Amino acid sequence: MRKFECSVCGFVYDPEQGLPEQGIPPGTPFEALPAEFCCPVCGAGKSEFNPLALSPQDGSEASVQLQTTVLEVIPRTPSIKSFRLAAPDRVRFKPGQYLSLSLRPEAGFTRYLSISNSPTEEGYLEVTKRITQSAFSRMLDRTGPGCPVSVTYPMGKFTFEGEFAKIALLSGGIGITPLRSMVRYAFDKQLDTGICLLYANRTLEEVAFKAEFDAMQEAGSRIKVVHTLSRAGSGWTGRTGRIDAALIREEVPDYHERRFYLCGPPLMVEGLTGVLRDELRIPEAQIETEGFTGY
């Protein structure tokens, strides 16, 4: 049975695994899926899927399934935690890709999460999630070192490995995870790429990876990080409000020379794509987006 790939987000449907959370049992061929089937990650329809090449021509690696365990849980903010999962030393993925994480696949506890570490950080795969009241969140929050999990990786086309001389990364909240992987990768590899990260949050305490981003900015002249807060406290001297055309013009004056990467809640990604396209006249071909439906 062939695997099929979503042409929009790169999600791979594996008939051997099915999609138990959508009521599709393992062993269901793609052709047998109902007409109303849609991508569990981005919501694209069945017609957006194409058969996955058996031996990818573009150098990308087919996704693999890995039975593994949690190594470490790292609190990032009061509501965000990173989960490090043991992985082979040479983990093959590109910065920006995502994985599927199953806690109890038979019960439908599977979610698609960006990989928040960089391929330069070896020996583990890290996902970073806001812990909400959802059943999956609560179950994930109860895991700890040694707990068994199953992951399928890598998936996704929202990647950066140094292809462009200048990039701008726009993100809000937990949408930072694939961008954190890209920035860490560029920093560790000492890429020549000029990076400007605009990162929107409500409050300072909600900013994930802040100390790390600030340290990378101080150590490397090619990385600029701009935080903007919508509910800043009285002591905040940085930018306030949302990411808009005015903020981009001021902080990224050479925006027309940059490749843009947008990741965050779908509404934010949609809104920012409109700002870039309509107000800043940036061709859509210069804008890469990732909008997960299932944070």
Which positions touch Fe ion (CB under 5 A)? 6, 8-9, 11, 39, 41-42, 44
- Nearest-CA neighbor of 202 among 168, 242, 170? 242
Q: Residue 162 corresponds to which amino acid? A: G
CB of 191 to Fe ion, least distance (A): 28
CB of 42 to Fe ion, least distance (A): 3
User: How far apart are the C-alpha atoms of 12 and 17, rounded to whole Å?
Assistant: 11
User: How far apart are the C-alpha atoms of 66 and 86, rounded to whole Å?
Assistant: 10
- Give 153's strand partners: 64
Task: Starting at the earlier edge strand, list the strands of the sheet with 12-13.
Answer: 12-13, 4-6, 49-51
- Give 163's strand partners: none
- Nearest-CA neighbor of 220 among 191, 241, 261, 257? 191
CB of 39 or CB of 272, closer to Fe ion: 39
Provide the Cα torsion 154, 158, 164, 169; round to 10°: -120
CB of 10 to Fe ion, least distance (A): 7
CB of 119 to Fe ion, least distance (A): 23
CB of 44 to Fe ion, least distance (A): 4
CB of 8 or CB of 215, closer to Fe ion: 8
CB of 39 or CB of 243, closer to Fe ion: 39
CB of 39 or CB of 248, closer to Fe ion: 39
CB of 9 or CB of 87, closer to Fe ion: 9
Q: How many residues does the chain have?
A: 295
